[in-house]
Amino acid sequence: MPRHSPPKAYKNPDFVNSGDARAMRIMAEYLEPRKRLREAGVEDTIVFYGSARIPSRKDALARLKNLREQPVLNEPETAAAIKVAERALDMSVYYEASRDLAFRLTQWSCELGGNGGGQHQRFSIVTGGGAGIMEAANRGAMEAGGETIGMNISLPDEQFPNEFISEELAFEFHYFFMRKFWLVYMAKAAVVMPGGFGTLDEFTEILTLVQTGKMRRKLPILLFGSEYWKKVIALDAMADFGVIDQSDLDLFFVTDCVDDAFDWLKAQLLEWAVDHPGGGLTTDVENVEGR
């Protein structure tokens, strides 16, 4: 028997999970999705961003009905809960809009076919993989008969992948920045629905990449929900104060109408993307920003 029998470094969980192996774990979150997406034939995507807290209209109605039918044990608490449920019902319009828009985009993408008119849809819907708007977009894509991608993130308050992600295209990330990389890397268009801190972070990051030219390809950005966004982030005021150019406000298109959203995205993709498949999964890592 040998005196020593040390494990190989890549099979040593103490090392793999240590700070010294962080670079290896980061690289794994680049290489593993790259391999799986390439094998699935995914070349280009349309990314949907938005809140995980926005329910479907059906769920919102059921919650409100349940509250209204319950015996009133504590009137102030019940009134507050009903108010929250009513607000959720109002916000559910964005869930349904995401579902409808993803359905239409996927249906159109399937009609286009894959690169050269193959079996796969031309553009795949990708989301952060969780509930709310993410679920709605994955759901709409699946209902249209398309493949749908979910890039979930492990959080202290666990976020689980929604049930509408194609089985072979469900991903789980530890690092936010690697998840954000894959959400945008293959995207030929972005849809930004109402959301919280994470959505604001994602929206402003892709705006920054486009504004600064770090993303050298065209990336049409659709901002859905004019009333919400006007209250949440005063982009016009930024131009008024001179911290962005007036022309930067043209980097995105704002609408409240699914018909207009679909028509605008379709026109943009026909002009900039349909005849120019990405091919990013066959390029070297140093070409990431140039895609």
**Which CATH number belongs to the domain containing residue 199 in this structure?**
3.40.50.450
DSSP-assigned states of every residue in 232-265: H--HHHHHHTTSS-GGGGGGEEEES-HHHHHHHH
Does residue 158 lie within any of the structural domains?
yes
User: What is the domain count for the chain?
Assistant: 1
CA distance 151 to 166: 11
What is the structure's pLDDT at 2?
Answer: 79
Residue type, 256: D
Task: Compute mean pLDDT per 10 residues along the chain, 291 residues long, and list them.
Answer: 82 88 94 95 95 97 91 79 95 98 97 60 96 98 96 85 95 96 96 97 96 92 97 94 96 98 97 81 44 43
Does residue 14 lie within any of the structural domains?
no
What is the structure's pLDDT at 284?
Answer: 40
Q: Pull the structure tokens for residue 137.
A: 């977009």
Does residue 134 lie within any of the structural domains?
yes
Q: Give Rg (Cα) of the chain.
A: 21
Q: Pull the structure tokens for residue 26.
A: 């980061």
**DSSP H or E run through 150:** strand 148-153
Does residue 150 lie within any of the structural domains?
yes
Does residue 243 lie within any of the structural domains?
yes
Does residue 4 lie within any of the structural domains?
no
Q: Pull the structure tokens for residue 30.
A: 């680049």
What is the structure's pLDDT at 71?
Answer: 76
Tell me the pairing of strands 148-153 and 124-127: parallel
Does residue 289 lie within any of the structural domains?
no
- Domain of residue 243: give its range: 38-53+92-274
Does residue 139 lie within any of the structural domains?
yes
